Amino acid sequence: MTGVRSLVLSLSTGSILLFFSELLFWARVRPGDSLVNWAQTWLAYSLLAFIFLAAVRHFRVRSLEGLFLAGALVGWLGEGVLVQTMYDQFPLQISWTGLAWHALISVCVGWYALLLALSSKDAWRTTAIAAAVGAFWGLWAIFWWLEEPADIATPAAFAAFAFGATGVLALGYWVFARAGAREFRPGRRSISIALGVLLVVFALGTVPATPWALLVLPALLALVWMALERNRAAETRPDLLERLGAERPPLSAYLPLGSMPIVASGIYALAYALGLRWQTNWIVYLVTMPAGFVLFAGAWLRLMRRKRPAIP
């Protein structure tokens, strides 16, 4: 049962990451999208989710600093192994999107902040966070109108996508809560297999396409490992999985998530009616890209300065 539970938690976390890293980012159904494509992407994010959850458990991640560095694993393994976008426009792409989107938005906001609000059963808190994500979503989505090839989804099409995607997200949250995060106990064999898959993809796909990735990615991962290992030696409190797995919210607790597509669709429809043509992506990029570097440096330094508990 432990292996099944770990699999379910990885798949449900993968669906949360899929929403925030892909569905929210692309903000529409693209011409090449299909159920098969989405399923494959979900499985890829579930693999990253398993590594992320294993890191949270093994390194006793409790603080936001530790969470951000664990989120960096999602971003850098995704953008630096499964795809090779991290090596474009180097070194800015180290942050965008690995830190600026995956670690900050997908993990810290999508996985942690909303899961914590749901587990606390605070409807107003969940509504506020979901509405803020919805406002961001609606404003972000309109920049795709100016991207080549220009693709302007109608408000009705965007609303259908937003509500459908949020339904998938709510299901992911519900399954995660029901699976019991406290019982996440990945075995060494499963961790070795997951890392082995990523290593094969890196060796056969990434390195031939971008040889200098062989220097960049290991160096970045070593930085994360150093800080998280220091955290593991110093942390004495239960990790975040213990905290998030303490409660099982009732179905009514998920209703406030509806504010996300409602706000997003309202802003999108208003921009559509007014004929706005805003490059909102540049605003997000210019804020979050440097923020990713700053947050990583700050989190790394704070964890490296942690002291081992005194032995009585």
Distance of CA 27 to the CA centre of its chain: 16
Indicate whether 142 pLDDT > 70.
yes
Residue 66 · residue 228 · CB < 8 Å: yes
Indicate whether 308 pLDDT > 90.
no
Distance of CA 266 to the CA centre of its chain: 25
Indicate whether 206 pLDDT > 80.
yes
Distance of CA 121 to the CA centre of its chain: 22
Q: 79-128 pLDDT, tens per residue?
A: 999 999 999 999 999 999 999 999 999 999 999 999 999 998 899 999 99
The predicted model scores a pTM of 0.96
For residue 231, count CB atoms less than 10 angstroms from its CB and return exposed for 0-12, middle for 13-18, buried for 19 or more.
buried
147-153 average pLDDT score: 76
294-307 average pLDDT score: 96
Residue ranges of domains in the chain: 2-304
